[in-house]
A and B are shown apart, each in its own frame.
Chain A
Amino acid sequence: MAKVIFGAWDGDVIDNRTKKIFEIGEYPEFKDFDEFNPGNPIKAFFGGHGFFIFEKDVNLLDAALQYMERVARESCGKCTPCRVGTQIIRSKLELLTRGEGSVALLDEIENIAEHVKFTSLCGLGQTATVSVLGMLQYFREELESEIASRKPVSRQHCTTYVSAPCIEACPSKVDVPRYIDYVKDGKFTHSLGVILQKYPMAATCGRVCVRFCEMACRRTQVDEAVGIKVLKRFVADHERFVTNEWFSSYAIPDKKDADLKVAVIGAGPAGIAAAYHLLLQGYPVDVYEAKAVPGGMAATGIPEYRLPKAVLSKEISIIETLGGQIFYNRRMGREFTLKSLFNNGYKAVFLGVGAHKGKTMGAVGEDPHLEGYAFGVDFLLRINHDYIDRGIPMELGEKMVVVGGGNVAMDCVRSALRMGVREVHLVYRRGREEMPADHEEVEGAEKEGVIFHFLTHPTRVISENGKVRGLELIRMDLGEPDESGRRSVTPKEDSEFTIEADHVIPAIGQQVEHGFVVPEDNVGFSGWGTIQVKTESLSTSRKGVFAGGDCVTGPATLVQAMAQGAEAARCINDYLTCGRVRFNPEARMSRLVDDVQPMIRTGVSIPIKHEYRVKIRELDPDVRKKMFEEVEKPISMEEAYREANRCMRCYRVYSVITEQ
């Protein structure tokens, strides 16, 4: 465990300079701070709230200089103190590290550093000088003795990292403040470019993302989170008409050898993201999709009124523009096998097969073969495929019960209304607050007239002549939260009741279908039935086979799947170019940043003018519930500029000094 010799963080000072190294107590917060990568000790850590020194021979002037260099380069350049002040501090520190200048410079640095901290416009400037100020205020004598030696300092090994809470929250690590900055700057193409650095499905993500970023947004301490998702949709929609011209083989800097072929199994978000990054790195990529359309769960599981298929297919077509091929109706384990892929010359395989098999409710009389019984994802697939795409009519009867509390359940009930089902019930075993679905989705369903039954559990499927007739249910009592924080539920005695229904749709989760591999393929599964991978490399137990997305994580989100696809592409590239997955300093810095979050105690302490978040116009519930047109309307350019200006730019600069 790393020992803190001295440091200052959010006003707390640690000073163990007089102790012997073995006398210093252990700080559990730093259990992950011993090494940066194997054999490479972390000697110092700097951040927007302070700094920690773990080894005596760290040169503070150089550490401060390298930190301030990054800060000065990151300044957005709009406000005076950050733009100019950080540069002046940088140049004074540079003088000192050259062995020039006197201790008097420290007063000047301190004066400007305070000024930058207290008068800068955004989060970057307000935290840019905190660590330098900590040194000056509590450990000035260390700096003075370094200056007194009057020797030029050689540069230490330093890794810098810039991030923000929204970036850290995003599985794909999209540089959110930067794409918002580009909106402010009036450069929408650049803004979209920032998103496209991470994944090709920007307009899709701008519609259906679950927004981990907005949950982490610090603007909530003032009024409401910035509309990060809606801005993403805005730039993606604004630029969509030229998408094809942006991506051509010209976008690929250097082609890899033609025999380094990669097969991607599944054209869902994970597979598409993996294929996209591999293609950009110059690999020949073939994508195999079991269904007749690409998009995976994004195409089959998300209804048209939330994600028009034209948007999705336009973005997936980037794969083909980049030279990748997508083969449809090719199911692994049916048309081909893992063995045949390797026999056909693929050097690496990415499995992104998803989790498509519906889970049963465990109710008496439940039989997936009953007429009127369908799993949520299958129900949505039929609407998307048979009804919307091919115009095949669906007989859904008068009444329907959907069971579940996630977005798939919400998609089912809202789609059922649009299909003309007169009475749509939603049954969920916990309370409204516990529903995992987006609250916007729940509200949307309520406005459209879905009948909710919270704290209710299905006990028996009533059927007659192989046809669903209804569902028997029981009320539940909510108990205390368990270890995972979820509250348990217990059935309430004598509270059974029945809902008549022509259809029962369980939407309580999906599983991975296992038919795509055989035991000889040597691809291992976890106890949950998901594909087992090493977290740091996404590699399966079979050499050259990588996996990601729902088939690894279980049913998750679009952005998590895309993040895994991108990560897998990085690992496959490493595997194909150096035979092993290399150390990723960015991911390491991200983990260190995560470790220090609990130590942050300062929030937004000065008043900030309230500017409420843009209201998204929606189709009227009475109109929209009868059709599949997109419910949310785009925002205007004025609204986009205004929304972008709400971003507080909570960038923080971090750095580590390491041995090598």
Chain B
Amino acid sequence: MIGFINGKEVEFEENETVLSVAEKYGYFIPTLCEMKDIHHTPGTCRVCLTDIRRKKDPRHHIVTACTTPMEAGMEVLTRTPKVREKQRLQVELLLADHNQDCASCIRHGNCELQDVAQFVGLTQTRYHYPHFYLHRTRDDSSPAIMRNMSKCIRCLRCVTVCRELQGVDALVITEKGLETEISVRDHLPIGDSDCVSCGQCILVCPVGALAERDDIEEVMDCLYDPDVATVFQFAPAVRTALGEEFRMPAGSNVEGRIVTALKRLGADVVLDTNFTADLVIMEEGTELLKRIRDKDILPMFTSCCPGWINFAEKNYPELKEHISTTKSPQQCFGAMAKTYLSEKMELDPRRIRVISIMPCTAKKGEAKRSEFFHEGIPEVDVVLTTREFARLLKREGIHPGDLESTAFDNPWMGEYTGAAVIFGATGGVMEAAIRTVHHAVTGKEMAKVEFEPIRGMEAVREAEVNLEGAGTIKVAAAHTLKAARKLAEDVKAGNSPYTFIEIMACPGGCLGGGGQPRSKHAYQASREERREGLYAIDREASVRQSHNNPQIQKIYSEFLEKPLGFKSHHLLHTTYRDRKRMIRHTMKEIWREIEDRL
């Protein structure tokens, strides 16, 4: 069909929106709530106003481009004085309802609302009603996620991500009129709710309404405390994402620069979570084989992802025996740092502060689990997300782009294999485990190191692994909790065909984690580059199987003895809880709420 935008002919399909046609032809229309990457056009911000004239109607109408379909012969004008004036007024109204304490905002300088104010040429804000927003919910009950509804602009992107991508559906909309908030189901503080702390909502929030809990001050306290020894670890997915915060090309591997930066910050020991990823493979792989041999509970789910663990404990507690008892790499690292490393380096474990840099918000909660405290001492003391780490560097005047790379130099926990680094991508744990399990069963390395069938971005990938004498097992790797739910339902119903299942809560795996750099007006814009960066590190690694990591061989011979042995069972394995929430409302309570809304 043919129509016109700003007088020029445009071609489009039936039901295509004005916004999408305008974009295709390079006409810029400012938008705020809409987010194409997650198919989200709620039409709530009403900023993308344009002027239309239909073929058989001489009147001009002001409509939103995101919700209005193009029609044959329709004339669209995107920049008339009236359109510009209405767009400005819209943003002015948005700001009247927004806590404009910008300087202290987590999104300061990186805010989509500020961008839109510039796009529409806002020069004044006439309406100031602090009572509109100052009393709105601020929820700091979660160790991972902070909610400040005085900043919320009701774009509903967080609801869509939580509901449609993750299938967690922890967020609801409450109240009406000015009191409308994005709230947590059943009026719970987010820390006690169905929320699994995956943090995907933060990645899509255009403003500072949702953010990670900021633990930078705690890290600084450690760094400047002469009585403590700081031991830093950083996760595989951090190294190919951090650069984005410093305008380096997406996917750049800044591993060596992170080491330099941490040393510059005053870190006492800089190590790699990759090392314990290799350790996890040894434990988890052995556990899998034991379960197969003993005809124990199968399929076995991976346990690295704390978002998934939260999800499973809150939704499928009946499946908790299916989850590998092996702790996550972060916690294995903490446990080893305060035992093995402290022994080797002759450091008092009580003086050690383990600080993680993670692509993940849920890791903050994981570190706080009571299972990971021993005599009051946590295995991991503080967790920073990639974003917080970038802010810490900025506060300390360190720009990784300006730094030389430094190699890990710790003789005990610094080395890693290619198998560990791909933990950061969905399917990576499975692939790493297969490399080692294959060797454990057959005594031979796999002919081809890369296990392609389990790679990729489909929600669930499945494959068969031929373990030669030990038969063939069926495995699956899934990302997003929506996909996890489907697999869990099958297990629950007793008709899962798999022996081993990897679950990563975040789309793409850790590289798309809720603690990774945000992109504006786009969802996980550099996912491909980050992933390619990780696979490149694996390809170029001299050792690509966890069992071939010499420091892993050493930790078993000098400290742990053997996978699933007495010591490793004690230090590297854990248990899970039933955290299913039972809330029963009476109709009387529901009616009271409905009537309050009247």
Whether a CB of chain A sits under 8 angstroms from the CB of B49 is: yes
B127 touches A88 (CB 8 A): yes
Whether a CB of chain B sits under 8 angstroms from the CB of A194 is: yes
Q: Across the interface, name the chain B residue whose C-beta is closest to A75.
A: B177
Q: Tell me which residues across on chain B come within 8 A of A197, comparing CB atoms.
A: 591, 594
Whether a CB of chain A sits under 8 angstroms from the CB of B489 is: no
Closest-CB distance, A578 to chain B (whole angstroms): 23
Residue-wise interface mask of B (170-189) relative to A, using a CB-CB cutoff of 8 A (1 in contact, 0 not): 01111111111000010000
Q: Tell me which residues across on chain A come within 8 A of B176, comparing CB atoms.
A: 73-77
Which one, B69, B153, B159, B174, contacts A609 given CB within 8 A? B69
Closest-CB distance, A7 to chain B (whole angstroms): 23
Q: Tell me which residues across on chain B come within 8 A of A245, comparing CB atoms.
A: 584, 586
Given contacts A78-B180, A84-B94, A641-B163, contact A189 B68 (CB under 8 A): no
Centre residue among A84, A87, A178, A190 by max chain B CB count within 10 A: A84
Chain A contacts with B in 40-89, Cβ cutoff 8 A? 72-81, 83-85, 87-88
- Cα A289 to Cα B42 in complex, Å, equals 50
Which one, A74, A81, A186, A605, contacts B57 given CB within 8 A? A605
Closest-CB distance, A60 to chain B (whole angstroms): 24
Whether a CB of chain B sits under 8 angstroms from the CB of A155 is: no
Q: Tell me which residues across on chain A come within 8 A of B154, comparing CB atoms.
A: 77-80, 83
Q: Tell me which residues across on chain B come within 8 A of A121, comparing CB atoms.
A: 43-44, 46, 64, 67
A251 touches B62 (CB 8 A): no
- Cα A79 to Cα B46 in complex, Å, equals 7
A77 touches B591 (CB 8 A): no
Residue-wise interface mask of B (490-513) relative to A, using a CB-CB cutoff of 8 A (1 in contact, 0 not): 000000000000000000000000
- Cα A297 to Cα B91 in complex, Å, equals 56
Which one, A74, A78, A185, A251, contacts B587 given CB within 8 A? A251
Closest-CB distance, B558 to chain A (whole angstroms): 53
Chain B contacts with A in 159-203, Cβ cutoff 8 A? 159, 163-164, 169, 171-180, 185
Closest-CB distance, A319 to chain B (whole angstroms): 14
Q: Tell me which residues across on chain A come within 8 A of B52, comparing CB atoms.
A: 606-607
Which one, B90, B172, B586, contacts A119 given CB within 8 A? B90
Q: Across the interface, name the chain A residue whose C-beta is closest to B41.
A: A609
Interface of A is mostly: helix
Chain A contacts with B in 223-246, Cβ cutoff 8 A? 242, 245-246
Whether a CB of chain A sits under 8 angstroms from the CB of B525 is: no
Residue-wise interface mask of A (519-548) relative to B, using a CB-CB cutoff of 8 A (1 in contact, 0 not): 000000000000000000000000000000
Whether a CB of chain A sits under 8 angstroms from the CB of B15 is: yes
B68 touches A73 (CB 8 A): no
A73 touches B177 (CB 8 A): yes
Given contacts A84-B93, A119-B64, A607-B68, contact A247 B587 (CB under 8 A): yes
Q: Tell me which residues across on chain A come within 8 A of B477, comparing CB atoms.
A: none
- Cα A37 to Cα B471 in complex, Å, equals 85
Chain A contacts with B in 178-225, Cβ cutoff 8 A? 178, 184-187, 189-190, 193-194, 196-197
B93 touches A80 (CB 8 A): yes
Chain B contacts with A in 50-92, Cβ cutoff 8 A? 52, 54, 57, 59, 61-64, 67-69, 71, 74, 86, 89-90
A610 touches B593 (CB 8 A): no
A609 touches B590 (CB 8 A): no
- Cα A194 to Cα B74 in complex, Å, equals 41
Given contacts A79-B43, A119-B62, A121-B44, contact A608 B169 (CB under 8 A): no
A77 touches B127 (CB 8 A): no
Whether a CB of chain A sits under 8 angstroms from the CB of B373 is: no
Given contacts A77-B154, A87-B132, contact A246 B590 (CB under 8 A): yes
Closest-CB distance, A623 to chain B (whole angstroms): 23
Given contacts A78-B180, A85-B93, contact A91 B588 (CB under 8 A): no
Whether a CB of chain A sits under 8 angstroms from the CB of B390 is: no
Whether a CB of chain B sits under 8 angstroms from the CB of A27 is: no
Whether a CB of chain B sits under 8 angstroms from the CB of A626 is: no
- Cα A131 to Cα B244 in complex, Å, equals 52
Given contacts A84-B94, A608-B69, contact A186 B163 (CB under 8 A): yes
Q: Tell me which residues across on chain A come within 8 A of B64, comparing CB atoms.
A: 119, 121
Number of A residues with CB within 8 Å of any CB on chain B: 50
Which one, A77, A119, A248, contacts B180 given CB within 8 A? A77
- Cα A112 to Cα B85 in complex, Å, equals 12
B46 touches A80 (CB 8 A): yes
Q: Tell me which residues across on chain A come within 8 A of B54, comparing CB atoms.
A: 607
B69 touches A84 (CB 8 A): no
Q: Across the interface, name the chain A residue whose C-beta is closest to B67.
A: A609
Which one, A88, A250, A609, contacts B93 given CB within 8 A? A88
B97 touches A80 (CB 8 A): yes
- Cα A88 to Cα B17 in complex, Å, equals 31
- Cα A396 to Cα B22 in complex, Å, equals 66
Chain B contacts with A in 119-175, Cβ cutoff 8 A? 127, 129, 132, 153-154, 156, 159, 163-164, 169, 171-175
Closest-CB distance, B69 to chain A (whole angstroms): 5
B591 touches A193 (CB 8 A): yes
Q: Tell me which residues across on chain B come within 8 A of A75, comparing CB atoms.
A: 176-178
Whether a CB of chain A sits under 8 angstroms from the CB of B45 is: yes
Whether a CB of chain A sits under 8 angstroms from the CB of B292 is: no
Q: Tell me which residues across on chain A come within 8 A of B159, comparing CB atoms.
A: 186
B61 touches A84 (CB 8 A): no
Chain B contacts with A in 544-598, Cβ cutoff 8 A? 584-588, 590-591, 593-594
Whether a CB of chain A sits under 8 angstroms from the CB of B289 is: no
- Cα A659 to Cα B359 in complex, Å, equals 66
Whether a CB of chain B sits under 8 angstroms from the CB of A557 is: no
Whether a CB of chain A sits under 8 angstroms from the CB of B392 is: no
Closest-CB distance, A276 to chain B (whole angstroms): 11
Closest-CB distance, A280 to chain B (whole angstroms): 9
Q: Tell me which residues across on chain B come within 8 A of A606, comparing CB atoms.
A: 52, 61, 63, 68
Which one, B15, B86, B173, contacts A185 given CB within 8 A? B173
B156 touches A607 (CB 8 A): no
A119 touches B594 (CB 8 A): no
B44 touches A78 (CB 8 A): yes
Q: Tell me which residues across on chain B come within 8 A of A80, comparing CB atoms.
A: 44-47, 90, 93-94, 97, 153-154
Q: Across the interface, name the chain A residue whose C-beta is closest to B185.
A: A186
B97 touches A190 (CB 8 A): no
Q: Tell me which residues across on chain B come within 8 A of A608, comparing CB atoms.
A: 67-69
- Cα A605 to Cα B58 in complex, Å, equals 12
Whether a CB of chain B sits under 8 angstroms from the CB of A463 is: no
Q: Tell me which residues across on chain A come within 8 A of B106, comparing CB atoms.
A: none
Whether a CB of chain B sits under 8 angstroms from the CB of A577 is: no
Q: Tell me which residues across on chain A come within 8 A of B44, comparing CB atoms.
A: 78-80, 121
A610 touches B46 (CB 8 A): no
Q: Tell me which residues across on chain B come within 8 A of A118, comparing CB atoms.
A: 61-62, 86
Whether a CB of chain B sits under 8 angstroms from the CB of A498 is: no
Closest-CB distance, B93 to chain A (whole angstroms): 4
Q: Tell me which residues across on chain B come within 8 A of A84, comparing CB atoms.
A: 93-94, 96-97, 127, 132, 178
A185 touches B591 (CB 8 A): no
Q: Tell me which residues across on chain B come within 8 A of A248, comparing CB atoms.
A: 586
Q: Across the interface, name the chain B residue whose C-beta is closest to A71.
A: B177
A81 touches B46 (CB 8 A): yes
Whether a CB of chain B sits under 8 angstroms from the CB of A120 is: yes
- Cα A630 to Cα B469 in complex, Å, equals 50
B89 touches A115 (CB 8 A): yes
A78 touches B593 (CB 8 A): no
Q: Tell me which residues across on chain A come within 8 A of B174, comparing CB atoms.
A: 185
Chain B contacts with A in 313-371, Cβ cutoff 8 A? none
Closest-CB distance, B579 to chain A (whole angstroms): 20
Closest 7 interchain pairs by CB?
Answer: A77-B180, A193-B590, A246-B587, A185-B173, A84-B93, A186-B172, A78-B44
Residues of B within 8 A of A (CB): 15, 17, 42-47, 49, 52, 54, 57, 59, 61-64, 67-69, 71, 74, 86, 89-90, 93-94, 96-97, 127, 129, 132, 153-154, 156, 159, 163-164, 169, 171-180, 185, 584-588, 590-591, 593-594
17 contacts between A and B (CB under 8 A): A73-B176, A80-B46, A80-B47, A80-B97, A84-B93, A84-B178, A87-B177, A88-B96, A111-B89, A115-B86, A118-B86, A186-B173, A193-B593, A248-B586, A608-B67, A609-B17, A641-B163
